[in-house]
Structure 1
Amino acid sequence: MTESHPFFSPKTHGFVRVAAATPVSHVGDPVANAQAHLALIRQAADQGVDLMVFPELSLSAYAIDDLHMQAALLDEVERQVAVLAQATGGATAEHELIAVVGAPLRHGDALFNCAVVMGGGEVLAVVPKTYLPNYREYYEKRWFAPATARTDDVIRLNGETVDFAPGLIFEAVNRPGFVFAVEICEDYWAPLPPSTRAALAGARILLNLSASNIVIGKADERAMLSASHSARTLSAYVFAASGWGESTTDLAWDGQATIHELGTKLAEGERFALENHLTIADIDVDRIGLDRLRNGTFADCARNEGEAATVVPFMAREDVVESELIRPLDRFPFVPDEAGRLDQDCYEAFNIQVQGLMRRMAATKGERLVIGVSGGLDSTQALLVACRAFDRLNLPRTNILGFTMPGFATSDGTKSNAWALMKALGVTGAEIDIRPAAEQMFKDIGHPYAAGEPVHDITFENVQAGLRTDYLFRLANQNRAFVLGTGDLSELALGWATYGVGDHMSHYNVNGGVAKTLIRHLIRWVADRELVGAEASPTLHAILNTEISPELVPAKDGAIQSTEGTVGPYALNDFFLFYISRFGMAPSKVAFLAHQAWSDAGAGQWPVNTPDDEKVEYDLATIKAWLRKFLIRFFQTAQFKRSVLPNGPKVVTGGSLSPRGDWRAPSDGNARVWLDELDANVPD
């Protein structure tokens, strides 16, 4: 890797590169084990790793029983600790990182199962194991003393005195948020793991050195514990277990290595491998900090249950080089890329919408609703939800009153799709041509269009949008019904809705918590499963293949009015929305993530069943340009519309812009600070 603009380095954006190391173990041979460690330290350093963790008792091997009590072995362990520490940095070292190694160490007249934290060419501190298993196949109390048995909070190791205690907090003085803590194997099987209090004390990365022999089903249990612990403590959890080479006298070892962040698996190593290897991922400590910042429960728990902890400062590596991000990164954060998860998300999203509408109808004792059906994505999804809700309430679909209202730019394709959909679904369909009423309004207000001038300004557009809404609300009055809204989350974020009209205002909106990118997959999911009848599926697929357009301005030179040509690709806008509204990330970091996900060599994943024509790439210049427009619309021009949104269910995490829900902001704000941050930190 070569030096480059800081923007292109993950370190610039709050990422810490971690590795779970799985060395080949040599039974009772600290010299051979240290050589395996050195090889992995060199490999990790070459790959830009900041922090690496080895398995439990990795310098001696774990399953050596009473050999742990042999002076010759323990003496050699201490000598090899010095060798490894020297390799982690300092003036003469060729590598620089933090390594956490497992070793049996003497303190006073007791032996402790320890994690040795080393960096900068020296041992920084030693963390003893808190909980020693002594049941079933485990006999650790035969050899080791628990952390509570130590007589001092320092240990002398190779002539140097360092901190010696559980719950130590290691904090980089030169990398904000790079804060970690260590526990050992059995510690995280305890009802209250030491790392819980470490997280409350500020640790964002939790490390576990483990031996943990393998039996059927245990790998799933360990992964579950790591995932759940990282979710509960709002942290990252790095787990490294012993593998090939450990004694199999009575047990077997799989070398499981996992890295989780906030409950999500970032990386998993090969189990039962026969060679030294690393499992590497970039942990977003900035994201963890932002999540803790907005989670009041975490802060309350830290105040109520947290304890003062000893902080061990260290210098982290500072090389800023261009690098691919090593972690899963969804191009569509509202749409999972894994088939099973996507199916589950679509099932839940659709039923959240359906149940929300059912409850509103039950509460109002409503039996009819009115909906504008344009032949576009949003009204289609709302209509599908309505049909399913009516089916479950045992109400006839004919009580759904669908109206298509062609205007001056309505295409034959969308109009025919609207009619085909209403007929296939068995709802009551009708058509109201809004052009005569619009022409009368143009005449009444003196608009140039009434005099024959082709003026297609904002008034020309909004007269049509407003008339459609007027008709829907009065039709609802006439039929003792209520108006079902269709505007989606992405449109609300961008303010891409005429104030007070159908995509903004309604009696109830089922789409307000659903991003545009997810709506595409929801429609496809309903169509493929024939949830509202097989007859509608061909039309649903035709609607999915139609370009997104408000159809308010007549086509020019054969080109229809393009929504995405005006506000930007919804794929990018939904990406921006997720990271800015869910985590409050700085625009430069959002741009970095978008570049990593959407560039031609990006790390992003495509959701299953994504059509080839939707698989596009965006360069940094394009990303920055559309992000600027998003920031202006989101922070400066759209909030007044969001402040008066109708009721509707929240569907996705971090995906509510309701003033009664996740997002509250002033309607008269401005975007300056976000634009300045973007321009100052993202190259052109």
Structure 2
Amino acid sequence: MPHSNTPPVPDAFFDIHTHGFVRVAVATPAVRNADPAFNARAIVDQAREASDRHADLLVFPELSLSGYANDDLHLQDALIAGTWTQLKQLAEASQTLTPLLLVGAALERNGRLYNCAVAIHRGAILGVVPKTYLPNYREYYEKRWFASGDGTEGLTIEIAGKAVPFGPDLLFAASGMPGFVVHAEICEDYWAPFPPSIDGALAGATVLCNLSASNITIGKSRDRHLLSASQSMRCLAAYVYSAAGHGESTTDLAWDGQGGIYELGELMAESERFSHAHAILVCDVDTDRIRQERLRMPTFNDAAARRLHPEKRFRKVMFSHAPASAITDLTRPIRRFPFVPNDADRLDQDCYEAFNIQVEGLITRYRATPGDTMVIGISGGLDSTHALIVAAKACDRMGVPRQNILGFTMPGFATSDHTRSNAWTLMRAMGIACEEIDIRPAARQLLADMGHPFADGEPVYDITFENVQAGLRTDYLFRLANQRAGFVIGTGDLSELALGWCTYGVGDQMSHYAVNTGVPKTLIQYLIGWCIRSAQFDGETDAVLRAILDTEISPELVPQDASGGIQSTQEKIGPYELNDFFLFHILRHGLKPSKVAFLALHAWRSTASGRWPADFTDEKKHAYDLDTIAHWLEKFLFRFFQTSQFKRSALPNGPKVSQGGSLSPRGDWRAPSDGKADVWIAELRTGLGR
């Protein structure tokens, strides 16, 4: 474990910008229709609040400067002139404020009135983006007042004697923050079959913004969630949505002020609807994650090529953005268990899908394999338990007797009475064919043949001693499968494969079919719990499943010490809950180790509620400080990148289960077996100043 003389961590490590985060905010200010002066004051007030909260970007609703529900008042010269005046004053007021502001305004250009998003930053109007798609159906008739921005690419508009970029072809990019590139579209634009933000994303925008005045009707909130989430997922981007709220005219319509921030299809933050509080919604979006997702998905680049590379058609307006101070209070949800949802409904749905992916995979393999039996080594631990209940459900679904499952418990030198009893109780409760083979005589003979000191009575519990037992169990299983017309079901899980915590050629690495190979340890625990909650089996089975869940994770290959202490897996390789956190962010998103440590610190530094999957009890909650996280992360990096790939390169078949990825050499992860971990460990140490 880390020592007390660990050097101090650089201040930059704690700054969210160091790790590619951008703080975005959504505002729904108080509005008075056709009163730009009142509206400008409300906008400035919220812009100051956003600046105080260190926002990098603040998005206001559509036509927030004049109000949306003005009908024919939009065409009155007094209102048009008042909007121009207040826009200039807004720009002046922004000189001392941090965020890039996107404000809605109706602006006249060349005899036409446009519904616009105006980008303002530190006293300057950077550009004006006109709305492309104007709704003119049902309650909407915007074409009565506004011209479409379609075809205005490359133009400028004069504001306060300066030519300002004007058109739908604008991106706003912060110098010094390569991941902070903004595209703006307006309300109806993203209800269109091909929203302008698609080209914006393909041109390089990572943060897509929608200034909206969408009125509310029953069920429309769900539609907005669907569109915003799907657009952020389709475009591999963040999507920031701000809708008009209290103060808009209710002559014929109503408004709810819905705001939302989305990232790669996931809702990150949502405002309170129908609120008069006019609170600002703030969330940190991860542009590194967005960039990594685009790197690993060639379809994104193919789409850009098919659209003739929109980056050639967009103008990038640069602005100098330097936050006044470091931001250390990361504002976004972080799942401690990224393979496991922390929403009760999603947890049950994901467990249902994961379990049935495994069951259906095994059914297909069973039907395609000669013979009619499945052979499983049952230890009384989590992984073999889960493999067995998957096999039992597969038999039930196929109408095959569970007696076709041949379960063998094979006690060795360190097998406890507790796990042996659990193994027997489980096999009997499941109604499978069960036998016991004591491997100790064969192990002693093998150790004696090798000249191992243990055969002469010396308590030498080295790796050879451990692997003789593990290897014998697998030898028996494969030969039993030959003898009894069956195939061996592997039990090793994704977490063990990531860490190399498995013996090459042994049942947790080698089998005829590996049902658990795509399931991490933390998810296996929840899958077994889900089987209990959803009554997949009977009460007797549920009782032993609970007992197994409460058992310390151990390979049980080394006898207890003098004090009765058992061989603990997690004391050796680190907590599985941390290792699975590391695995997800490195495998799924390719993040730098220092950023993984930063995320882990924010996820795990307290036992506060709200971050845990739905059925986690208080006594299972842990907290980890940065030194502990860094200690286990470095060990994870060494194991994952350097010492265990050769085991993964020879994996048997098994189904991919989680979007977090699999380690099959034929699937998500392909790497050299003789690679080195140096670059990852060096990056972690540099980021932590060590």
Q: Could you tell me the TM-score, scaled by structure 1's length?
A: 0.98
1:244-263 alignment, distance < 5 Å: 244-263=246-265
After TM superposition, where is structure 1 displaced by more than 4 Å over at least 4 residues in a row? 149-152, 601-604
Code of the aligned partner of 1:389: A
User: For 1:15 and 1:482, how far apart are their aligned partners in 2?
Assistant: 49
Query: Which residue is 1:609 aligned to?
Result: 615
Query: Which residue is 2:580 aligned to?
Result: 574
Query: Counterpart of 1:555 in 2: which secondary structure?
Result: coil
Please tell me whether residue 323 in structure 1 is matched to residue 328 in structure 2.
Answer: yes
Question: In structure 2, which of residues 133, 136, 141 is the aligned counterpart of residue 134 of structure 1?
Answer: 136
Question: In structure 1, which of residues 629, 652, 655 is the aligned counterpart of residue 658 of structure 2?
Answer: 652
User: For 1:322 and 1:58, how far apart are their aligned partners in 2?
Assistant: 29
Code of the aligned partner of 2:573: V
Query: Which residue is 1:527 aligned to?
Result: 532
Query: Counterpart of 2:565 in 1: which secondary structure?
Result: coil
Displacement, 1:87?
A: 2.9
Asked if the contact 2:153–2:168 (Cα under 8 Å) also holds between the matched residues in 1, the reply is no
Please tell me whether residue 219 in structure 1 is matched to residue 221 in structure 2.
Answer: yes
User: For 1:465 and 1:299, how far apart are their aligned partners in 2?
Assistant: 47
Query: Which residue is 1:114 aligned to?
Result: 116
Query: Which residue is 1:441 aligned to?
Result: 446
Deviations 1:306-335 (A, max 9, x none): 422111111223344242221111000000
1:302-321 alignment, distance < 5 Å: 302-305=304-307, 306-307=309-310, 308=312, 309-321=314-326
Q: 1:603 to 1:75 in 2, by over 3 A?
A: farther
Displacement, 1:532?
A: 2.8
Deviations 1:159-182 (A, max 9, x none): 221100003111112101111100
Query: Which residue is 1:514 aligned to?
Result: 519
Deviations 1:372-430 (A, max 9, x none): 00000000000000000011111111111100000110001000000000000001111
Query: Which residue is 1:546 aligned to?
Result: 551
User: For 1:631 and 1:115, how far apart are their aligned partners in 2?
Assistant: 46
Code of the aligned partner of 2:300: F
User: For 1:176 and 1:614, how far apart are their aligned partners in 2?
Assistant: 40
Q: 1:280 to 1:313 in 2, by over 3 A?
A: same
Deviations 1:188-243 (A, max 9, x none): 11111111111111111100000011111111101100001111111111110000
Q: 1:150 to 1:630 in 2, by over 3 A?
A: closer
Query: Which residue is 1:294 aligned to?
Result: 296
Please tell me whether residue 493 in structure 1 is matched to residue 495 in structure 2.
Answer: no
Asked if the contact 2:289–2:589 (Cα under 8 Å) also holds between the matched residues in 1, the reply is yes
User: For 1:319 and 1:388, how far apart are their aligned partners in 2?
Assistant: 59
Q: 1:322 to 1:233 in 2, by over 3 A?
A: closer
Displacement, 1:451?
A: 0.9
Displacement, 1:655?
A: 2.1
Asked if the contact 2:498–2:663 (Cα under 8 Å) also holds between the matched residues in 1, the reply is yes
Query: Counterpart of 1:487 in 2: which secondary structure?
Result: coil
Question: In structure 1, which of residues 48, 54, 62 is the aligned counterpart of residue 54 of structure 2?
Answer: 48
Displacement, 1:459?
A: 0.4
Please tell me whether residue 371 in structure 1 is matched to residue 376 in structure 2.
Answer: yes
Displacement, 1:24?
A: 0.9
Query: Counterpart of 1:234 in 2: which secondary structure?
Result: coil
Asked if the contact 1:336–1:607 (Cα under 8 Å) also holds between the matched residues in 2, the reply is yes
Asked if the contact 1:174–1:316 (Cα under 8 Å) also holds between the matched residues in 2, the reply is yes
1:53-452 alignment, distance < 5 Å: 53-89=59-95, 93=96, 95-148=97-150, 150=152, 153-305=155-307, 306-307=309-310, 308=312, 309-452=314-457
Asked if the contact 2:380–2:422 (Cα under 8 Å) also holds between the matched residues in 1, the reply is yes
Q: 1:4 to 1:138 in 2, by over 3 A?
A: farther
Query: Counterpart of 1:79 in 2: which secondary structure?
Result: helix
Consecutive unaligned residues in structure 1, runs of 5 or more: none
Code of the aligned partner of 1:122: A
Q: 1:351 to 1:152 in 2, by over 3 A?
A: closer
Displacement, 1:72?
A: 1.8
Asked if the contact 1:101–1:115 (Cα under 8 Å) also holds between the matched residues in 2, the reply is yes
Displacement, 1:570?
A: 0.3
Query: Which residue is 2:3 aligned to?
Result: none
Query: Counterpart of 1:42 in 2: which secondary structure?
Result: helix
Code of the aligned partner of 2:31: S
Query: Counterpart of 1:475 in 2: which secondary structure?
Result: helix
Consecutive unaligned residues in structure 2, runs of 5 or more: 1-8
Displacement, 1:604?
A: 6.9
User: For 1:527 and 1:168, how far apart are their aligned partners in 2?
Assistant: 55
User: For 1:418 and 1:269, how far apart are their aligned partners in 2?
Assistant: 50
Query: Counterpart of 2:211 in 1: which secondary structure?
Result: strand
Q: Could you tell me the TM-score, scaled by structure 2's length?
A: 0.97
Query: Which residue is 2:44 aligned to?
Result: 38
Displacement, 1:611?
A: 2.6
Asked if the contact 1:596–1:604 (Cα under 8 Å) also holds between the matched residues in 2, the reply is no
**C-alpha RMSD of the superposition:** 1.4
Question: In structure 2, which of residues 453, 458, 461 is the aligned counterpart of residue 456 of structure 1?
Answer: 461
Code of the aligned partner of 1:468: R
Displacement, 1:4?
A: 7.7
Asked if the contact 1:369–1:482 (Cα under 8 Å) also holds between the matched residues in 2, the reply is yes
Asked if the contact 1:473–1:482 (Cα under 8 Å) also holds between the matched residues in 2, the reply is yes
Please tell me whether residue 22 in structure 1 is matched to residue 28 in structure 2.
Answer: yes
Please tell me whether residue 642 in structure 1 is matched to residue 648 in structure 2.
Answer: yes
Identical-pair percentage: 60
Displacement, 1:107?
A: 0.4
Code of the aligned partner of 2:21: F
Query: Counterpart of 2:185 in 1: which secondary structure?
Result: strand
Asked if the contact 2:173–2:319 (Cα under 8 Å) also holds between the matched residues in 1, the reply is yes
Query: Counterpart of 1:605 in 2: which secondary structure?
Result: coil
Query: Which residue is 1:505 aligned to?
Result: 510
Query: Counterpart of 2:150 in 1: which secondary structure?
Result: helix
Query: Which residue is 2:472 aligned to?
Result: 467
User: For 2:473 and 2:115, how far apart are their aligned partners in 1?
Assistant: 73
Code of the aligned partner of 2:88: A
Displacement, 1:603?
A: 8.9
Displacement, 1:276?
A: 1.9
User: For 2:601 and 2:324, how far apart are their aligned partners in 1?
Assistant: 21
User: For 2:349 and 2:675, how far apart are their aligned partners in 1?
Assistant: 38
User: For 1:602 and 1:322, how far apart are their aligned partners in 2?
Assistant: 21
Q: 1:261 to 1:214 in 2, by over 3 A?
A: same
Q: 1:353 to 1:601 in 2, by over 3 A?
A: closer
Asked if the contact 1:185–1:210 (Cα under 8 Å) also holds between the matched residues in 2, the reply is yes
Asked if the contact 1:409–1:554 (Cα under 8 Å) also holds between the matched residues in 2, the reply is yes
Please tell me whether residue 484 in structure 1 is matched to residue 489 in structure 2.
Answer: yes
User: For 2:113 and 2:246, how far apart are their aligned partners in 1?
Assistant: 25
Asked if the contact 2:245–2:274 (Cα under 8 Å) also holds between the matched residues in 1, the reply is yes
User: For 2:500 and 2:584, how far apart are their aligned partners in 1?
Assistant: 16
Q: 1:198 to 1:218 in 2, by over 3 A?
A: same
Please tell me whether residue 9 in structure 1 is matched to residue 11 in structure 2.
Answer: no
Query: Counterpart of 1:449 in 2: which secondary structure?
Result: helix
User: For 2:389 and 2:527, how far apart are their aligned partners in 1?
Assistant: 10
Q: How many residues align?
A: 678
Displacement, 1:60?
A: 0.2
User: For 1:562 and 1:150, how far apart are their aligned partners in 2?
Assistant: 67
Code of the aligned partner of 1:431: E
Displacement, 1:529?
A: 2.2
Displacement, 1:510?
A: 0.3
Query: Counterpart of 1:656 in 2: which secondary structure?
Result: coil
